[in-house]
Chains A and B, each alone.
Chain A
Amino acid sequence: MIAFGGAIGDVLTSSTMYGSTVRFAALLVFAATGEWIAEKAGTMNISVEGMILTGSFTAALGSYLSHNVWIGLLLGLLGGLLVSIVQANMSHRLSSNQFVVGLTLNVLAVGLTAYLNAQINPTVERAGIIRVPVLSRIPLIGGALFGQTWLLYLIYPLVPAAWWLVYRTRWGLEIRSVGENPQAADVSGIDVNKRRRQSVYLCGVCAGIAGAYLTIGQVGSFGADGVSGRGIIALAAVILGGWTLKGTVGAAIVFGFFDALRFALPALGHTVNPQLLATLPYAMAIATMLIFAHRGRRPNALTRPFVRGLT
Chain B
Amino acid sequence: MTSASEGVAASAAAPSDPMAWKLHGRNSAPSVRLQRITKRYGQVVACDDVDLELHPGRIHGVLGENGAGKSTLMKILIGLIQPDEGTIDVHGSPVRITDPITASDLGIAMVHQHYSLVEQLTVWENVVLGEPTKLNRADACARVAALSERYGLGVDPLASVTRLTAGQRQRVEIIKCLRREPRIIVFDEPTSVLTPAESEQLFSVLRRVVVDEGRTVALVSHKLDEILHATDEVTIMRRGRVVDRLSTSKATASGLAQLMVGRPVSLRSEAAALGSIETITANVLSSALDDAADTADAADTAAALTTTVPSRPVVLDVRNITVIAKDGHRLLDDLSITVHAGEIVGLAGVEGNGQRTLGDLLASLVHADSGTVIVDGSEVDIHRPGALSAAGVGIIPEDRHDSGCVLDLSVAENLVLADLAKVAKRGVLNRKALEVRAVELMRAFDIQARSPHASMRSLSGGNQQRVVLARELSANPKVLIAAQPTRGLDVGAIEYMSERLRQAATDGVGVLLISTELEEVLTLADRVCVIHAGKIVGEMSRSAIDLERLGLLLGGMAA
Name A residues whose Cβ lies closer than 8 Å to a Cβ of B: 168-170, 172-174, 176-177, 180-181, 183-190, 294, 297, 300, 308-309, 311
Contact = CB atoms under 8 A, between A and B. Distances in A.
Nearest to A191: B99
Contact of B99 (A172, A189, A311): A189
Contact of A187 (B115, B121, B135, B326): B115
Interface stretch (B124-132, B296-304, B343-351, B451-459): B124-132
B120 A173 contact: no
B227 to A, nearest CB: 24
A297 B329 CA distance: 14
B472 to A, nearest CB: 26
Contacts, number: 72
A201 B134 CA distance: 22
20 contacts: A170-B128, A170-B131, A173-B129, A176-B121, A177-B125, A177-B129, A181-B119, A181-B120, A184-B117, A184-B118, A184-B129, A185-B129, A185-B130, A187-B112, A187-B115, A188-B116, A188-B130, A300-B119, A308-B80, A311-B115
A244 to B, nearest CB: 12
Nearest to B110: A187
B166 to A, nearest CB: 15
A170 B133 contact: yes
B129 A180 contact: no
B377 to A, nearest CB: 35
A190 B130 contact: yes
A297 B130 contact: no
B135 A169 contact: yes
B133 A297 contact: no
B118 A177 contact: yes
Given A173-B125, A297-B327, A189 B118 contact: no
Interface string B425-444: 00000000000000000000
Contact of B101 (A189, A297, A300): A189
Nearest to A294: B326
B488 to A, nearest CB: 12
**5 nearest CB pairs, A to B:** A188-B130, A189-B130, A189-B101, A177-B118, A181-B118
B100 A187 contact: yes
Contacts of B116: 183-184, 187-188
A308 B99 CA distance: 12
A188 B129 contact: yes
A177 B115 CA distance: 12
B134 A170 contact: yes
A294 B326 CA distance: 8
Contacts of A174: 129-130
Contact of A180 (B119, B176, B326): B119
B133 to A, nearest CB: 7
B326 A190 contact: no
A185 B117 CA distance: 8
A168 B136 CA distance: 9
B104 interface: yes
Contact of B115 (A169, A176, A183): A183
A310 to B, nearest CB: 11
Interface in B312-363: 326-327
Most chain-A Cβ atoms within 10 A of its Cβ — which of B110, B116, B134? Answer: B116
Nearest to B131: A170
A189 to B, nearest CB: 4
Contacts of B100: 186-189
Interface in B101-156: 101, 104, 110, 112, 114-121, 125, 128-131, 133-135
A297 to B, nearest CB: 7
Given A173-B125, A173-B128, A189-B99, A180 B120 contact: yes
Contacts of B128: 170, 173
Nearest to B115: A183
A69 to B, nearest CB: 36
Contacts of B130: 174, 185, 188-190
B108 to A, nearest CB: 12
A180 B115 CA distance: 11
Most chain-A Cβ atoms within 10 A of its Cβ — which of B100, B135, B176? Answer: B135
A183 to B, nearest CB: 4
Contacts of A173: 121, 125, 128-129, 135
A177 B122 CA distance: 11
A170 B135 contact: yes
Contacts of B118: 176-177, 180-181, 184-185
B133 A177 contact: no
Contacts of A168: 135
A187 B134 CA distance: 19
A206 B61 CA distance: 53
A169 B133 CA distance: 10
Nearest to B101: A189
A148 B326 CA distance: 41
Nearest to B102: A189
A309 B81 CA distance: 9
B378 to A, nearest CB: 32
Given A181-B119, A184-B115, A188-B100, 19 more contacts: A169-B134, A169-B135, A170-B135, A173-B121, A173-B128, A173-B129, A177-B118, A183-B116, A184-B118, A185-B129, A185-B130, A187-B115, A187-B116, A188-B130, A189-B100, A189-B104, A190-B130, A297-B327, A300-B120
Contacts of B112: 187
A42 to B, nearest CB: 12
B143 to A, nearest CB: 15
A300 B135 CA distance: 23
A89 B120 CA distance: 27
Nearest to A187: B116
Contact of A177 (B99, B110, B121, B327): B121
Given A173-B129, A189-B99, A180 B121 contact: yes
A169 B112 CA distance: 26
Interface in B477-524: none
B121 A297 contact: no
B352 to A, nearest CB: 15
A188 B131 CA distance: 8
A185 to B, nearest CB: 7
A190 B129 contact: yes
B28 to A, nearest CB: 29
B128 to A, nearest CB: 7
A311 B110 CA distance: 18
A185 B115 CA distance: 9
A308 B81 CA distance: 10
Most chain-A Cβ atoms within 10 A of its Cβ — which of B104, B117, B130, B327? Answer: B130
Contacts of B104: 189
Contacts of A188: 100, 116, 129-130, 176
A170 B130 CA distance: 8
A181 B125 CA distance: 13
A190 to B, nearest CB: 5
Nearest to A171: B135
Contacts of B327: 297
Nearest to B104: A189
B383 to A, nearest CB: 17
